[in-house]
Amino acid sequence: MDKVVGVELSHRFAPIAVRERLALNKEQTTIALQELKKDYEEVFIVSTCNRLSVYAFGKSHNEILSFFDQFGNYRQYLSILPDSEIAIRNLFSTAAGLESQAVGEHQITGQIREALEVGRKEKTIGPVLDELIRQAIHTGKRVRLETNIGKFSASLATVGFELITQHDFKIAETTFLVIGTGNMANLVTTVLDRTKIKKLYIASHDQTRANEMAKEWNGEPVDMENMHQALSEAGVIIGGTQGEINLLHEETMSESKCPRANFALQTGGHKLFIDFGVPRNFNPSLKEDANVTLYDLDDIKKITYDGLLKRYDEIPKARQLVNEELDWFMVWLRNRKVAPVIEAYWNNMEDIKEEELKWLLPKLENADKHTEDLLQRFTHRLLRKISNPTIEGIKRIAQNLHEQDNPINTAKQILDVQGVDIFVPKKKIIVGTRGSKLALTQTNWVIGQLQKIQPDYEFETKIIRTSGDDGDIDVVGAFTSALQRSMLAGEINLAIHSYKDIPTEEVVGLRVVPVTERKDVRDVLISKDGQQLKDLPAGAVIGTGSLRRSAQLKQIRPDLDYKFIQGNVESRIHKMETEGYDAIVLAATGLEKMNMLDIATEIFEIDVMVPAVGQAILGIELIDKAGSILDLVKGLSHEPTKNAADAERAFLIALGGGCNMPIAAYAQATATEITIEGVFATEDGEHYEKDSISGPLDQRKTLARTLAAQLKDKIERKKKVVLSDVTT
């Protein structure tokens, strides 16, 4: 079944160095639309300095992902919008300014409108996306009208203007140079127009446009190829063009003999560069010069936080309005599914009306034109009133096409429109998941496998926020309990978990099925300087959220400092780069699913680090009284993985631990035998034991408990020896 899908690269996850590589100008956008049109009936692209968003109406987002892949391996930076509700909420939130770098900025609404016009021109916009985009623009306008989110200064241009005043430039005595005449340059010159300045130069690749803007803003046009004089005079230089400015893009400015490129190094006056361009207009090495201050989009993003606080207060109300518009559009989208039935029904009624008028009019021998027109209007009004309850009833049915005995087929029979063929899913399954990139990646994969087994079902993704997402990982079921509550409340039918996150105590009424063949169970080291574990200097700080990992690594490098770290993959990497960690340890399978395994500095084999119980296994938890969903899920169950999971879980339960205890186990099962390797340590890591056990597969839980008892006994004996030594 077709749905609204999308993929987005934005400032939320991608640094400017990545965004500028994927920035599309109008010509490139046109080419991309035609390329994507081969896979989708409807598609449109929003390309700005802060995002490249592709939305389409089709069966899957996979073809959009393939489009992004042609630029390189950037999947780690992408936001996947796999379902109508998720994609539409993202677009509406974007139009409302909630996803902007400067929250509440209004420029994005115009950019979405421009994207709509480009799509219409290229004939890639159909009825669904046309209505969607117009509704998004309406949502943006409504949020700004009914909240104060856009009434506090926070646009990029305004922030840039504030930077000028913060750096002690006396604006009335300062010469400005604006490079570029696009939207961003227009905003900057609009701000400048409000304040008296000494002189304004405007440079552009389009000389005609530069002349027009110079005349409009009382400035002086400059030839892009010959503007070194303006650069020398200007104290503030603002870049906002999508084209390269070669005189500032030399690889090494200090070695360049071009006087225009070296002007910043040779003049004595302090200069402020504000770079709104994507790709960046100014060479980053300008920051190294004492006479130059340079801000690019990423710098501006870091310093705008305080100015946005007032807008943040308006976010809850803005989100409420977005949700109202989302609900309305979802009703419209579902109604559209039955539109062919309603159209056919109305056409049948019209045909009946015309036949009856053909019978009636000849019998009215003296009927004039006025009488005939009156009869036409009367019969039309009569049909509207007669058919309205039926049409509204069909629309109500459209809001739930997934009844076990779907009434839409009955409606088709009653209304005599059997020739209309619409897809009616046999069942709708709502799949709950966390909202992280990794969780969505796992969920999308599982849904894809389930669709292969049962293509007549519709699967809808619903994001549930958990305690773990809010940073509270010490509670039992930090990443699962919220999903379990949603299942018991009937909000979702099943949930996708990392099996290692599932608590050992089962929830009454729910059932967990370990599924899919186990992936890479190993852990990896990611170090800031590309060093392996053995090469890290003594005292280096290793970030890990797992006592299991730190206990095992201490056996190899006790001289390192192991500190707690939490968050998803992206946030942990960011913390490593900004918060004093020299390296972090993560699971290989998570990186692999996000196409990020290549950033690993070192992969630890099993003999170095035994994985967590259930690592690299996905578990599907479900509530299914009828049994049909259970039967479907069982189609994904991988028997060797299930047997290994049973043994590892029994080992964990026997030690009375959870995911926050220094416990590790790895089981490998054949058709008849199983081998279990286990690790157990005290919480402080002072006492550590590791051993393995093998035996018949049907004794796997007994073997696991035996191994757990042996390791626990060894630890207890070590504690007694230490206590005895202390006493003595």
* Residues annotated catalytic, as ranges: 501
d(CA 289, CA 457) in angstroms, rounded, equals 62
CA distances to 202, 394, 400, 505 from 391, rounded to whole Å, are: 60, 5, 15, 50
Query: What are the counts of helices (DSSP H) followed by strands (DSSP E) for the chain?
Result: 25, 23
Sign of the CA dihedral with 30 first, then 33, 37, and 43 last: negative
Pairing status of strand 457-463 against strand 602-604:
unpaired
**Closest of 411, 330, 410, 370 to residue 83, by C-alpha:** 330
Cβ neighbour number for residue 343 with a 10 Å cutoff = 12
Q: Judging by beta carbons within 10 Å of its beta carbon (0-12, 13-18, 19+), is residue 259 exposed, middle or buried?
A: exposed
Both tokens of 49, joined, read 């300095």
Q: Give yes or no for a contact between 386 and 401, defined as CB atoms under 8 angstroms apart.
A: no
Q: Give yes or no for a contact between 94 and 113, defined as CB atoms under 8 angstroms apart.
A: no
Sign of the CA dihedral with 282 first, then 284, 290, and 295 last: positive
Cβ neighbour number for residue 63 with a 10 Å cutoff = 19
Residues whose CB is less than 8 angstroms from the CB of residue 241 and which lie 6 or more positions away in sequence, other chains included: 179, 180, 181, 182, 185, 204, 205, 277, 281
Widest Cα–Cα separation across the chain: 127
3-state DSSP percent of the chain in helix, strand and coil, to 5 = 50, 20, 35
Q: Judging by beta carbons within 10 Å of its beta carbon (0-12, 13-18, 19+), is residue 410 exposed, middle or buried?
A: exposed
3-state class (DSSP) for residue 261: coil
Full DSSP string of 453-504: H-TTEEEEEEE---TGGGT--SSTTTTTHHHHHHHHTTS-SEEEEEGGGS-S
Residues whose CB is less than 8 angstroms from the CB of residue 85 and which lie 6 or more positions away in sequence, other chains included: 326, 330, 460, 461, 462
| Distance in angstroms between the alpha carbons of the first and the last residue of the chain | 76
d(CA 277, CA 219) in angstroms, rounded, equals 21
Cβ neighbour number for residue 485 with a 10 Å cutoff = 15
Q: Give yes or no for a contact between 479 and 588, defined as CB atoms under 8 angstroms apart.
A: no
Cβ neighbour number for residue 645 with a 10 Å cutoff = 26
Place of tokens 């960690």: 581
Number of residues assigned to the chain: 728
Phi-psi region of 21 (alpha: psi -120 to 50; beta: other; left: phi over 0): alpha
For 672-701, give one letter per residue: b (16+ CB within 10 A) or e.
eebbbbbbbbbeebebbbbeebebebeebb
